[in-house]
């Protein structure tokens, strides 16, 4: 999908309307579509980078957050990966993950990236270079698995 623009920002840098948009998109998928009653906004939102993908015209259609190392895992963690249901099957998820990985590696060069992937999406994340790094576990009534993307061999570490 061409024409998608990305913005990476800390929660405090986002305008109220942007926070509203990202929370609405997350709720549309994680709470309503997946029928999962859980408190989506959490303490990790404050120690994360938020990647917003917008179509021309400003509609938020893709989002993920990158949690600072040491907050959820030792490594930076990508999570809350979501695409707008009405825009699926257009490659947005792959585009979003590629952008998220690039941005995480820019902020934390030389670091591996860890995710807690929904188990049903394990093959999708393997396509992005992640390898399974643990057993299946249940989080919010959904099967998940930890996965790890190794640090680039040629990157400098910080």
Domains parsed from the chain with CATH numbers: 5-149 (3.40.630.30)
pLDDT (0 to 100) of residue 115: 97
Contact (Cβ atoms closer than 8 angstroms) between residue 19 and residue 60:
no
Three-state SS for 126? helix
Q: What is the pLDDT of residue 112?
A: 98
Mean pLDDT by 10 residues, the chain (158 residues): 86 97 93 82 95 95 98 97 90 94 97 96 96 93 95 68
Measured over the CA atoms of residue 28, residue 89, residue 140 and residue 46, the dihedral's sign is: negative
154: Cβ contacts below 8 Å, ≥ 6 apart: none
pTM: 0.92
């Amino acid at each position: 999908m061409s024409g998608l623009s990305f913005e990476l920002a800390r929660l405090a840098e986002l305008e109220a309307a942007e926070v509203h948009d990202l929370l609405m998109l997350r709720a549309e998928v994680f709470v309503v579509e997946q029928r999962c009653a859980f408190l989506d906004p959490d303490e990790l939102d404050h120690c994360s980078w938020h990647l917003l993908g917008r179509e021309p015209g400003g509609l938020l259609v893709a989002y993920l957050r990158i949690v600072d190392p040491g907050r959820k895992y030792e490594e930076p963690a990508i999570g809350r990966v979501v695409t707008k249901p009405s825009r699926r099957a257009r490659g947005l998820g792959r585009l979003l993950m590629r952008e998220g990985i690039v941005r995480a590696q820019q902020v934390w060069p030389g670091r591996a990236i860890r995710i807690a992937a929904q188990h049903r999406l394990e093959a999708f994340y393997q396509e992005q270079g992640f390898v399974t790094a643990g057993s299946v576990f249940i989080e919010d009534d959904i099967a998940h698995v930890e996965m790890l993307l190794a640090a680039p061999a040629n990157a400098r570490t910080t």
